[in-house]
Structure 1
């Protein structure tokens, strides 16, 4: 017979991301961030490849990335509204953790499973931050997928990509509840 963990289940059934633009200081210091990163690193990882890594982005790094977004967006002749939205994700943040999908050579573990594992790390990191009492949000933008931005801004190699930026801080207000999926519409039960 399973042993339920009602507190964990209640957390999962009620968890809500906090909009990144509503997060402020204080942010977790290194000592507070280590258990959050440790929890995220316990993500399922077929083959024990650890096909992901973390880059902790503190305020000065986020400001540098916000300037790089503008440079890259202008070089790509992108619409200023798109540039501004991506810039503000970095400029308005005080702490974010970039989860990097870092594919490993493997004859047994397909790359897609490694990418899924990096996505799972994002959710685990988000939930660990929320469970620790912080506000958190998982974001990406066009800049996340721009090779020049991720190479110049984060030092990513050609086999690496950004799975997500997890913004962490102190929440300034409770987010509104949003509609949740209708289980009847997304669930198929197969009995045989």
Structure 2
């Protein structure tokens, strides 16, 4: 398994995934591909991604648009394209989970480049309050900074547990997708039953309904 995890301060909440996978990272059954905020690291990351064997399991955790995935960034280095639409062919005949905004649209647009290989994608996965404006339903429920923090904590936990499930059961990607949705729906139900934060519950509801298995 390969995890592509660019070095980007806005992704720090997803470090829980790496923490939970540390034993697998230590024994090399999970390989982490980083992309630091500099030109040389972008070049090296692209080369490493291109060398991933066929039939591999891949998780990308980062930022994306319907036409590309981004690499690392910092206050001194602007976020840049790591893999563009045409270069999505590097994921040809490999299973990929794109934990990034609007990655469902990227999966759809990249189908012929990937040889229609299996993938999981999402709609908006907000890690910053300003991103809510891009969603015409989330931006109407009065989301606050604390809601984003709570949402990100739940999302990182769900992704980590879904990856652990994938590794432990060595199962099909469709089974991982069903398990992921079960975990998300469970979080929605637990919030509702405990009279918790309904804004976070609604955000998770949209994540479930806008996710896709391609």
- Scaled by the length of structure 1, what TM-score is found? 0.27
Structure richer in helix, relative to its length: 2
Q: Which has the higher contact order (CA 8 A, sep 6+)?
A: 1
Which has the higher Rg, Structure 1 or Structure 2?
Answer: 1
